[in-house]
Chain A
Amino acid sequence: MDFLIPNQLNYPILSTLIFLPLAGAFVLFLIRDEKAAKIWSLFISLVVFALSLPLYFYFDPSTYKYQFAENSPWIPVFNINYTLGIDGISLFLVLLSTLLIPICILASWKYIEKRVKEFLFCLLLMETACVGVFSALDFVLFYIFWEAMLVPMYLLIAVWGGPEKVYASFKFFLYTMAGSVFLMVAMIALYLTAGTFSIPQLMTHTYSFNFQFWIFLAFGIAFAIKVPMAPFHTWLPAAHVEAPTAGSVLLASVLLKMGTYGFVRFCLPITPQASIYFAPYVLFMSIISIIYGGYVALGQTDMKRLIAYSSVAHMGFVTLGIFLFNKQGLEGAVIQMINHGITTGALFLCVGIIYERSHSRLIKDNSGISKIMPVYIGFFGFFCLSSMAFPGTNSFVGELLVLIGAFTDNRLIGALSIPGVVLAAAYMLRLLQKIAWEGKGDSHLSDMNLREIVYLAPLAMFVLWIGFAPAPFLDVMHATVNHLVEQVQAANAVALVR
């Protein structure tokens, strides 16, 4: 297959990234000591992260083709192959997943007290599923990882979650699963039309508009629930609030990306005409998400809930960027996916840190701690600024690109999304102001320890790095994004000719 550039490294890098955490997870059963289990899983996740770095260094930014590809038959009766490969879009999502798992393990070091081994088991399983989703190039393989990820995430919320964990985990599972069953039907329908499950081959096949229409709808529901776009977002605040810190981080940073990744990987290239047809509706929903998410975030009293709603708004920017179908919009969307993963993940970690000390997530219980926990406020304030897209931070680059794309496309869309930016500043500053300076804080709280600084520092570094020098990140995705834009425009041209 000429879409795939075979893996040039001397070991199957993507398979290693997928199955090493799984193997590490099973070794956990042999370890009796909980401390040893923690060290072991931290070690494994760090090894996986180290092994994932060659993906960036050996990545060839000049081509849109899928690199580090592996391909072998899996279920020949249905022409299903075990195909892996990454391009400029999935590269960073894979790296983000491998970066966040060790951070999540560090963040749960003290927080998780019961069933530690099972918790680590679930985290490592999540890593397998996340890397799998972003590197799978066979639809069935993708679907299996996409669904399999639900189970460990469900358990993370249901077993280690807060007081309303049962309700939240249930809702999370039902919502996402309900969306996915239609994805499965669409997948089978595509196979029967094009005769293959290979995603790159599915992209080259042309489908009738009517067919694309229904496929897009099936895709769209599954992905919109995952993103989540208003009005499919109601599972998100519940799940975020009840999940343990590591669960919230993974949910925000990786799981939500699967939805937007799905739009980029499937909707745009496979059903381009339907994407263009539905674009106004998706853009409308994106703007609603941006404004509604921001507006609701403004009124929250629970820190986690506030950040959860801010996620809805931020993800609105991502879907907005995707459905503009121009280069700036798409690049902004992809970089914004990374940004949201870093910033929102970091904010959830911050909430986790304060929750471990005060055992409350409410803003009023944690206010006025700037003098008591200066280091903490330093980090927290920094990530708040990043979240509201302050110039010099990562989100600024992403949102700016998306807004440029929006104004290039249509001034009305650009103008409508501006209030979202203002709202972001309002709710984030309100949060920061109350936490840092309002009232007199509880003086028993201790400031951040070294472990907590260690796991927040790399995220802070990326905030600044992407904020000031986004080129290394944008350069590798140019070729892929250009190709994607061409794919959509070619289909549009065909439609116009007809």
Chain B
Amino acid sequence: MDYALFLPEIYLLLTALVFFCQSLWKSSARLNQVIALILSGIGVIITFYSINLTGELFYKAYLIDLFSQTFKCLISLGLFLIIIIGQKIKSIEDQYQPEFFMFLNLCSLGLMLMISSVELLTLFIAMELSSYSLYILIPIRKEINVGKMEAAIKYILFGAAATGIMLFGMSYIFGITQSTYLADILKKMPELLGQPVAVIGLLFILCGFFFKLAVVPFHFWTPDVYEGAANITVSFIATMPKLAAVALLLRLVSLAGAGAADLIQVLVLLAAVSMTFGNLAALVQKDLKRLLAYSSIAHAGYVMLGALTMNTIGFAAAVYHITGYLLMNLACFLVLCSVSREGENVMVSDLSGLHRRSPLLALTLAVGAFALAGIPPTAGFTGKFFLFTAALSQGHLTLVIIAAVNTAVSIFYYLNIVRFAYGKDPDGLPEVTLSFSNRLLNYGLITAIILMGALPTLFIDLAKTACETIIS
């Protein structure tokens, strides 16, 4: 076995073990945060170093290609950014922070394993690793409100149900193809697609990822989990599992190939309902995290536009958009975590006059919100533009128009956030002071969101090459 191929995963496992040791004795919270920062920083370097590797591991159940390595890079990068945001965690007690970092790393490990899995059982185990870590992460929060247990229970129940459906789907697929290897399934799929059982089996498997991605009707956990879990945990839940879910969604949808008209129909329906529901529900939210939760449901719908095109360009657009989504969502959560004083939830009205209390944060928030709304020259616009183009080229005119109307609707609540930050007076809310690393992250995210939007060629080419490997 070539260990270099598996290095990013091994490294994450070791990091998790370091924190396991740290949790055995009393250690200062600051020390743990610094260790986490340094280790995840090295993790990013290791993962980027392995981006061009290709190979197969574990009896061909584990595939390392450009597609999986790109996503792994994004995950390690996202983890690093989240740990920078978490340099002053206010929402989690000091004594639980080693465990927090341990499960954060374990969950990332699970997500990375998921991305490379090309065999159903491996995939299932990887997914459970990440889910179980999240089940524990969600209730780790200071006793500020009682919602955290509700959030945890909801996530477990919905997660378990979605997993159950997914397993059921896997049994169907195994039953008709006699294999759990995606490569074998792919070969047999075209002749089987005429049978309803193949489409239903595939759809049921997808349900597991719809749950992670918060696509309607698997979205019910989202607002409550966002509201109940610690701010820093939510910034993780809101981004990382979605990356992995998109990766797997694309991998599995490509199994069906272009012939699966029924499957596409269902995806179109889910996409339309998701974005419409998400945007309409977000209009009335007062809690910033709930608002972002519904916005994530809407964005899940947008990403589906790329998945249902069944071609390279569409898949690349989906990869591009989810990457942009990672950046702009983190920008919003960075502001949210910084504005929250004691780790409490942040209402939209708590952002009042932010441009006086901290001009930099207000700018980050504005860039993040405008990017989520899809205003050029941000990554959010370019992503949406690519998705719309890809979907329209496959003739999904109605869906694109629904998406366009949704974009117009969504402006209202994104702009509302900016309105509070720029249009209102602070009304006695205190100034926000930022640490050096926090400032740096602000500048970094603003630059990244705008540069990625204005000069997308480099990334979209990479995404396209990566997606070519999964579409046969």
Contact = CB atoms under 8 A, between A and B. Distances in A.
Contacts of B376: 143-144, 147-148
Contacts of A151: 366, 370, 375
Interface stretch (B189-197, B294-302, B416-424): B416-424
Interface residues of A, number: 34
A56 interface: no
B422 A155 contact: yes
Given A148-B375, A155-B422, A181 B456 contact: no
A77 B464 contact: yes
A154 B400 CA distance: 27
Interface in B350-383: 355, 359, 366, 370, 373, 375-377, 381
A178 B410 CA distance: 10
Contact of A144 (B313, B377, B393): B377
Nearest to A118: B359
Contacts of B144: none
A40 interface: no
A115 to B, nearest CB: 8
B457 A184 contact: no
A47 interface: no
Interface in A135-181: 140, 143-144, 147-148, 150-151, 154-155, 158-159, 165-166, 169-170, 173-174, 177-178, 181
Interface stretch (B15-23, B271-279, B401-409, B431-439): B401-409
B381 A147 contact: yes
B415 interface: yes
Nearest to B376: A144
B377 A188 contact: no
Chain A binding surface SS class: helix
B412 interface: yes
A115 B393 CA distance: 46
B392 interface: yes
A74 B385 CA distance: 15
Contacts of B313: 77
A148 B392 CA distance: 24
Given A78-B389, A185-B392, A185-B404, A170 B464 contact: no
B355 A76 contact: no
A182 B403 CA distance: 10
A471 interface: no
Chain B binding surface SS class: helix
B411 interface: yes
B143 interface: no
Interface in B230-265: none
B309 to A, nearest CB: 13
A75 B459 CA distance: 10
B339 to A, nearest CB: 19
Nearest to A76: B457
B419 A166 contact: yes
Given A118-B359, A158-B423, 20 more contacts: A77-B461, A115-B355, A144-B376, A144-B377, A147-B375, A148-B376, A148-B377, A151-B370, A158-B418, A158-B422, A159-B355, A166-B419, A170-B415, A181-B404, A185-B400, A188-B385, A189-B392, A191-B389, A192-B389, A192-B393
Interface of B: 313, 316, 355, 359, 366, 370, 373, 375-377, 381, 385-386, 388-389, 392-393, 397, 400-401, 404-405, 407-408, 411-412, 415-416, 418-419, 422-424, 454, 456-457, 460-461, 464
6 contacts: A77-B313, A78-B386, A158-B423, A165-B423, A177-B408, A181-B408
Interface of A: 74-78, 115, 118, 140, 143-144, 147-148, 150-151, 154-155, 158-159, 165-166, 169-170, 173-174, 177-178, 181-182, 184-185, 188-189, 191-192
